[in-house]
Amino acid sequence: MSHRVGLGFDAHRFSHEPGRRLVLGGVEIADGPGLAGHSDADVVAHAVADALLGAAGLGDLGTLFPDSDPSFAGADSVELLERVVAMVVRAGWRAVNVDCAVALEQPRLAPHKPAMEERLSGVVGSPVTVRAKSPEGLGALGRGEGAACWAVALLESQ
């Protein structure tokens, strides 16, 4: 059996746009400002998609769904992740698991982690774990200017 590992990363600053929703791992979080981006700026879904694409050798999210394409304006990142999962499966791979580390100061993610893991696991078709990490006041993330996520995906050939 053949296995491959992929690493995904994404970061977005917080938006000053009134009414911008904060979506992380496909879950809307009411107690935080939204992230700025061409799509819904879900850093968790983006990092998971890039990890899967990298492991399968299929490029990256920005190339496949460029922010220069108006059809992706305001896109639901979980729908993009669904398209990525379909591409990975067509290429002969399936996810074994995905692990994510989300770095942000606020809001607290602990109450939302079960819903995020359930939503992402359902889309990916394998366990997805989400861990929240505080940047402890260091750098732009520590100053609360945005959020970032790293994801690692393990694929096996079908």
**C-alpha torsion sign, points 5, 95, 39, 106:** negative
Query: Using CA atoms, how far apart are residues 32 and 8, in angstroms rounded to an integer?
Result: 24
Could you give the residue ranges of the DSSP H alpha helices within the chain?
Answer: 43-56, 61-64, 77-90, 113-124, 139-142
Tokens of 149: 């996520």
Domain that holds residue 55: 3-157
Dmax over CA atoms of the chain, in Å, equals 50
The 10 Å Cβ neighbour count of residue 70 is 8
Residue pair 87/49 in contact by the 8 Å Cβ criterion: no
Residue with tokens 């979980």: 78
- The CATH number given to whatever domain includes residue 113 is 3.30.1330.50
Please report, in angstroms and rounded to a whole number, the separation of the first and last CA atoms in the chain.
8
pLDDT per position in the chain (158 positions), as tens?
699 999 999 999 999 999 999 999 999 999 889 999 999 999 999 999 999 999 999 999 999 998 898 888 889 999 999 999 999 999 999 999 999 999 999 999 999 999 999 999 999 999 999 999 999 999 999 999 999 999 999 999 99
Q: pTM score, two decimals?
A: 0.96
